[in-house]
Structure 1
Amino acid sequence: MLDDSAAYVDGPWTHRTVGAAGARFHVAELGEGPLVLLLHGFPQFWWAWRAQMTALAEAGYRAVAVDLRGYGASDKTPRGYDLVGLAQDMAGLIRALGSAEAVVVGHGVGGLIGWTMTAYHPGVIRALAAVSAPHPRRAARILFPPGPGTRHMLRAQLPILPEHRLLADGCVRVGELLDAWSAPGWPDREAEERYRLAFSIPKVSHCSLEYHRWIFRSAWRADGLRYAHRMRAPVRVPVLQLHGSLDPVCPPKVARSSGRLVAGPYRWESVVGAGHFPHEERPRHVDDALVGWVREIDGERR
Structure 2
Amino acid sequence: MNISYVERPGGRIAYEVHGEGPLVVLSHGMGENRASYRHLIPLLVEAGYRVASVDVRGHGDSSVGWPTYAPAEVGADLVAVVRALDGGPAVLVGNSSSAAAVTFAAADAPAQVAGIVLVGAFVNPPRMNPFMRAAVALVLRSPRLFGMFHRTLFPVTRPADDAAFRRAMVSKLREPGRMAAVRGVNAPVEPHWTTRARDVRQPVLVLMGTRDPDFPDPGAEARAARRLFATAEARMIEDSGHYPHADQPARMAEQLTAFLAVCTGA
Q: Deviation string for 1:97-154 (max 9, x for gaps)?
A: 22232100010011110112222222221101111114xxx333xx23x49xx936x6
Tell me, in whole angstroms, the C-alpha distance in 2 between the residues paired with 1:280 and 1:209.
23
Q: Which residue in 2 is equivalent to 1:5?
A: none
Tell me, in whole angstroms, the C-alpha distance in 1 between the residues paired with 2:206 and 2:20.
25
Q: Secondary structure at the match of 1:126?
A: strand
Q: Is the 8 A contact 1:44 1:198 kept in 2?
A: no
Q: Does 1:272 align with 2:238?
A: yes
Q: Which residue in 2 is equivalent to 1:263?
A: 230
The structure having more radius of gyration, on CA atoms, is 1
Q: Does 1:249 align with 2:237?
A: no
Out of 290, 295, 300, which is 2:256 matched to?
A: 290
Q: Is the 8 A contact 1:71 1:207 kept in 2?
A: yes
What is the deviation of 1:49?
A: 0.8
Q: 1:184 to 1:60 in 2, by over 3 A?
A: closer
The answer to which structure has the higher helix fraction is 1
Out of 225, 229, 240, which is 2:205 matched to?
A: 240
Q: Secondary structure at the match of 2:110?
A: coil
Q: Deviation string for 1:23-61 (max 9, x for gaps)?
A: 311111101111110000022100011122111111211
Q: Does 1:182 align with 2:154?
A: yes
Q: Larger deviation: 194-203 or 182-191?
A: 182-191
Q: Does 1:31 align with 2:5?
A: no
Out of 104, 120, 124, which is 1:139 matched to?
A: 124
Aligned counterparts, 1:80-159, within 5 A: 80-134=68-122, 138-140=123-125, 143-144=126-127, 146=128, 151=132
Q: Deviation string for 1:201-253 (max 9, x for gaps)?
A: 3211111111112x2xx3xxxxx2x5579526343211111111111213321
Q: 1:235 to 1:204 in 2, by over 3 A?
A: same
Q: Which residue in 2 is equivalent to 1:195?
A: 169
- The letter for the 1-side match of 2:166 is E
Q: 1:290 to 1:126 in 2, by over 3 A?
A: same
- TM-score scaled to structure 1, two decimals? 0.78
Q: Is the 8 A contact 2:94 2:101 kept in 1?
A: yes
Percent of residue pairs identical: 25
Q: Which residue in 1 is equivalent to 2:33?
A: 45
Q: Is the 8 A contact 1:55 1:291 kept in 2?
A: no
Tell me, in whole angstroms, the C-alpha distance in 2 between the residues paired with 1:279 and 1:229.
23
Tell me, in whole angstroms, the C-alpha distance in 2 between the residues paired with 1:228 and 1:240.
15
Q: Is the 8 A contact 1:21 1:89 kept in 2?
A: no
Q: Is the 8 A contact 1:21 1:92 kept in 2?
A: no
Q: Is the 8 A contact 2:96 2:119 kept in 1?
A: yes
- TM-score scaled to structure 2, two decimals? 0.88
Question: What 5-or-longer segments of structure 1 have no aligned partner?
Answer: 1-9, 219-223
Q: Secondary structure at the match of 2:59?
A: coil
- The letter for the 2-side match of 1:261 is L
Q: Is the 8 A contact 1:249 1:276 kept in 2?
A: yes
Question: What 5-or-longer segments of structure 2 have no aligned partner?
Answer: none
Tell me, in whole angstroms, the C-alpha distance in 1 between the residues paired with 2:214 and 2:28.
16
- The letter for the 2-side match of 1:244 is G
Tell me, in whole angstroms, the C-alpha distance in 1 between the residues paired with 2:197 and 2:235.
24
Q: Secondary structure at the match of 2:40?
A: helix
The count of residues paired between Structure 1 and Structure 2 equals: 261
Q: Is the 8 A contact 1:72 1:201 kept in 2?
A: no
Q: Which residue in 2 is equivalent to 1:221?
A: none
Moved over 3 A (4+): 161-164, 226-230
Q: Which residue in 2 is equivalent to 1:209?
A: 183
RMSD of aligned alpha carbons: 2.4
